[in-house]
Every structure is written in structure tokens, then in C-alpha cells.
Structure 1
Amino acid sequence: MNALELLEQQHEEVKKLFAQYGKLPDHADARRSELFKKIADRLAAHTTIEELYFYPSTKSERTEDELREAVEEHLSAKRIIADLLEMEPDDEEFDAKMKVLQEQIEHHVEEEEEELFKKVRKLLSKEQLEDLGIQMEQEFETLMKGEPRRNIPAETDHAAPL
């Protein structure tokens, strides 16, 4: 799978998890906690592979502004996740923070898919995208064997370098 297809697939998976979370009844705290952990793990692993592999591989004069904004958006999302990791699902602010996280992720995904990915398609060959996708998918799978959300609090001081 090429890098763009992989990222789009992961975007869709998180979107579906947020939709499931939004449909939960107020008293379903165990299910809320479970869904939050799934979302946080996927976002943690996803941002890691973007920051380690995708962004550096796609950095150019044409993409630099979008990439700088993307790592700042990652930082903002990580800070919300770090807050949520310290809360319980029955906390009265938990759902509000989850909604803000969802909105930020939706905005980030929209900009990536509509702006950055178009530029990347012109920047990298199909072969380069395939090779990058393989590398990113392997790293993602490795990260998902653990609990990548646990790494988030240590990543909230500053945006990842480009």
C-alpha cells in the first residue's frame, strides 16, 4: 500500500471510531474509555509515522508551510490526548475534550488530504510512495503492539522537528 493510501485508511479508521464514540450513551463509561484508548493509540502511532517518515520524505519548498502547520496541529492534538489520559470518562470535561480533539483531527485530515497529499503526488513517484508506505505500515504495526498513547505526554513540549 502506498503511503498516501495508508494514511487515508488510518484517517478513515479514526473517523469511524470518533463516530462510534459520539453515539455512546452517557452511562457507557467503560465503552468510552475503551474507544478513547483505541483512538489515542491510533493517533499516537499515526502521528509518529508521519513525523518520522512521511513529513521528512515529503519536505520541499512546495510543502514546507503545510508540514509546519501539520506538526503544530499534531502538538495541539497530543496536548488534548495528554489531558484526557489523566481524566476518567465520567469527568464532566471528558466529552468536551473528546469533541475538540475530534474537530481538530477532522480539520487536520481535511487539510492533509486536500492540500498536502496533492502536492506529494507531484513530488514523489509511485515507487517512492510504495516504499514509504511499506516502511510506515511496518512501523505503525510495531507501535500498535504496545500502547503508543503512553508516549504522548512526553511529546507535548514542542512540535516535532521537520
Structure 2
Amino acid sequence: MNALELLTRQHDEVKELFERYEKLPDHADARRRELFVMIADRLGAHTAIEEQFFYPAAKARDTEDLLREALEEHLSAKRIIADLLEMEPDDPEFDAKMMVLKEQVEHHVEEEEGDLFKKVRKLLSREALDDLGIQMELEFEDLMEAGPRRQVPEQTEHAAPL
């Protein structure tokens, strides 16, 4: 699977988890926590592989501004995740923060898939995208085993470097 296909699949998985979260009844706190943890882990690992592999590979004159914005969006999402990690699902602010996180992720995905991916397709060969996809998928799987949400609070001071 090439890098763009991998990232798109991960975007779709998180979108589906947010949709499942929104359908839960108010009193389903344990299930809300479980879905939040799934979302936070996937976003933690996803942002890590983008920052470590994809963004450096995609860096070029006409992508640099998009990448800097994407890194700031990652930082914003990480700060919300860090807040949510300290809260319980029955907290009145929990759902509000989850909805803000969802909206930010949707915006980020729209820009990435709509703008950045088009430029990356022109920048990188199919072989390069395939190789990158393999690296990213392996790293994602390794990160998921360790509960990547636990690392997010340590990543909230400033955006990752480009």
C-alpha cells in the first residue's frame, strides 16, 4: 500500500470511530472512553508517522506552507487529546472537546487529501510512495502496540519541526 493510500485509510478509520462515538447514548461512559482511546491512539500514531516519514519526504518549495500548517494542526489536536486524557467521559466538557477534535481532524484531512496529496503525487514517484507506505505502515503498527496516546501530552509544547 502506498503512503497516500495508507494515510487515506487511516483518515477513514478515524472518521468512522468519530461517527460511532457520536451515536452513543449519554450514559454509555465506558464505551465513550473506549472509543476515545481508540481515536487517541490512532491519531497519536498517525501524526507520528506523518511527522517522522511523510512530511519530510513531501517537503518541497510548493508544499512547505501546507506542511507547516499541518504540523500546527497536529499540535492543536494533540493539545485537545492531552486535555481529554485527564478527563472522564461524564465531564460536561468531554463531549464538547471530542466534537472540536473531530472538526479539527476533518479540516486537517480535507486539506491534506485535497491539497497536499495532489502535490505529493507530482513530487514523488509511485515507487517512492510505495516504499514510504511500507515504512509508515510498519512504524504505525509498532506504535499502536505501545498505546501512542500516552506520548501525546509530551508533544504539546510546540509543533514538530519540519
Q: TM-score, normalised by structure 2?
A: 1.00
Structure 1 residue aligned with 2:90: 90
Counterparts of 1:114 and 1:58, CA distance in 2: 15
Partner of 1:73: 73
| Pairing 1:148–2:148 present | yes
Which residue number in structure 2 is paired with residue 26 of structure 1?
26
1:2-17 matches, cutoff 5 A: 2-17=2-17
Residue in 2 that maps onto 1:115: 115
Give me the whole-angstrom Cα distance separating, in 1, the residues matched to 2:90 and 2:146: 25
Task: State the match for 1:56 in structure 2.
Answer: 56
Aligned AA (1:104): Q
In structure 1, how many angstroms separate the alpha carbons of the residues matched to 2:36 and 2:3? Answer: 25
Structure 2 segments unaligned to the other structure (5+ residues): none
Q: CA RMSD of the aligned region, Å?
A: 0.2
Counterpart residue type for residue 63 of structure 2: T
Q: Secondary structure at the match of 1:32?
A: helix
User: Distance in 2 between the 1:155 and 1:3 partners?
Assistant: 23
SS in 2 for 1:135: helix
Find the residue that maps to 1:97 and give its secondary structure.
helix
Q: What amino acid sits opposite 1:100 in the alignment?
A: V
Paired-residue identity, %: 75
Shift of 1:146: 1.4
Deviation at 1:101, TM superposition (A): 0.1
Q: Report the 3-state secondary structure (helix = DSSP H, G, I; strand = E; otherwise coil) of the residue aligned with 2:158.
A: coil
Measured after TM superposition, the shift of residue 37 of structure 1 is 0.1
TM-score by length of 1: 1.00
Aligned length: 162
Match of 1:157 in 2: 157
Q: Which amino acid aligns with 1:99?
A: M
Take 2:153 and 2:97, find their aligned partners in 1: how far apart are those partners?
16
**Amino acid aligned to 1:23:** K
| Deviations, residues 61-113 of structure 1 (Å, cap 9, x unaligned) | 01000000000000000000000000000000000000000000000000000
Q: Distance in 1 between matches of 2:155 and 2:47?
A: 11
Letter in 1 for 2:161: P
Tell me what 2:47 maps to.
47
Unpaired runs of 5+ residues, structure 1, are none
